[in-house]
Amino acid sequence: MERIPVLKIGDMLLVSIQVDLEDQSAVQLQEDLAERIVATGAHGVIIDITGLEIVDSFIGRMLASIASISRVLDAQTVVVGMRPAVAITLVELGLSLRGVRTALDVERGMQLLKRDRPARTTDLNGGGAAAGVPAGERPAFHSGPPAGGPP
Amino acid sequence: MTSPVRPDAAAALAGSGAEAAKVQPIKSDEDVVRVRQLVRTLAVAARLSLVDQTKLVTAASELARNTLVHGGGGEAQVELVNKGLRAGVRATFVDDGQGIADIELALTDGYTTGRGLGLGLSGARRLVDGFELDSKPGGGTRVMIVKWAR
């Protein structure tokens, strides 16, 4: 079984899957990532799947659970680099990857995470005050993407 | 990779076998990956478009995993087939496992007995041009899929 390396860049973790992924490697990656998020205090995880020729239901489920696990550990996950043919196949397969954020490439994924993080902090600080205010009346700095968790 | 000649493999409903089927045993996770690679190689040889290659390989991956997880292992027989001038790839997944009690139910989106999402069989069927499932409780399972070049 091949182990997928997890790299730390600033306060983000980067995983680039370059091999044809075995199920067991995917499960291992899930565990490795959870440990590294806690060990490093990373707030963002980027999973680059440029190298993946297919994403079937197992790998899709693995990506979704990595996103959920990171969220619970206070980190956002962005899956980047999905090939067009993989996207088409995934949707036809019936997998929408709901709850998984995506970006076209690593750079855009990083921008997404950086943009989110300040909004997140603001939300946490002002969360109590904003809770009772209808979405439309909230100050502009609260109207960014949700801080995580379902809307 | 072994490629023994299987005289019985050529006879089926979806065209005639252009050459002997290549057989890949499915006994481990690595074998599921090998099935994907074998199917990909033949899909390229049959000149399937990139999207169709991806769909076929994804379907094969789902079925190979079923063979391993639900069937307790088995094998994949993959071959090039022709229908008139059209080329295609046929993959057959065979196991001697417990079989499927209710095929209708097993083909329903979201139905699962295992660790998956219940999209394996139903999703695989959507991704290919031809799909046949033959199974009875205690009698193993045989799934055949075909994808044709456009």
Which CATH number do you get for residue B98?
3.30.565.10
Average pLDDT, integer, range B51-64: 97
The packing angle between helices A84-93 and B50-69, to 10°, is 50
- What whole-number distance in Å separates Cα of residue B87 and Cα of residue B43? 9
Q: Which residue is closest to A62 within chain B, CA to CA?
A: B116
Average pLDDT over residues A52-62: 93
Residue A147 forms part of a structural domain: no
Residue B57 belongs to a domain: yes
The answer as to whether B61 is a domain residue is yes
In a domain, B51, yes or no: yes
Please list every residue in chain A whose beta carbon sits closer than 8 Å to the beta carbon of residue B29: 1, 22-25
Query: In chain A, which residues have their Cβ closer than 8 Å to the Cβ of B37?
Result: 20
| Nearest-angstrom CA–CA distance, A150 and A99 | 9
Q: Which residue of B has its CA nearest to A2?
A: B30
- Asked, for residue B5, whether it belongs to a domain, the answer is no
Residue of A nearest to B55 (CA): A89
B126 — contact with chain A (CB < 8 Å)? yes
How many angstroms away from the CA of A92 is the closest CA of chain B?
A: 7
Give B129 to chain A, closest Cα distance, Å.
13
This prediction's pTM: 0.81
Q: In this model, does residue B1 exceed pLDDT 90?
A: no
B1 lies in some domain: no
Contacts of A43 (CB under 8 A, 6+ apart): A11, A12, A74, A75, A76, A113, A117
- Structural domain contains residue A150: no
Number of domains in chain B: 1
B70 interfaces chain A, CB cutoff of 8 Å:
no
Residues in chain B: 150
Q: How many domains does chain A have?
A: 1
Please state, in angstroms and rounded to a whole number, the distance separating the CA atoms of residues B93 and B117. 20
Nearest to B55 among A20, A57, A89 (CB): A89
B67 shares contact with chain A (CB less than 8 Å): no
Q: Which of A60-64, A125-129, B64-68, B111-115 has the lowest mean pLDDT?
A: A125-129
Interface of A with B (CB under 8 A): 1, 20-25, 53-58, 60-61, 83-86, 88-89, 92-95
Nearest by CB to B116, which of A57, A85, A88?
A57
The pLDDT tens digits for A67-109 are 999 999 999 999 999 999 999 999 999 888 888 999 999 999 9
The residue in chain A having the minimum alpha-carbon distance to the alpha carbon of residue B122 is A93
Q: How far apart are CA B45 and CA B42, in angstroms?
A: 5
The mean pLDDT value for A24-36 works out to 96
Contact of B3 with chain A, judged by CB distance below 8 Å, is answered with no
In a domain, A1, yes or no: no
B38 falls within a domain: yes
- Count Cα neighbours of A146 within 13 Å in the Cβ-side half-sphere: 9
Identify the domain containing residue B96 by its residue range: 20-148
**Which 3 state secondary structure label does DSSP give B145?**
strand
The arithmetic mean of pLDDT across residues B12-29, rounded, is 76
* CATH assignment at residue A36: 3.30.750.24
Q: pLDDT above 70 covers what percent of chain B?
A: 83
Range of the domain at A42: 6-142
B29/A91 Cα distance (integer angstroms): 24
Confidence of residue B113 (pLDDT cuts 50, 70, 90): low
Residue A78 resides in a domain: yes
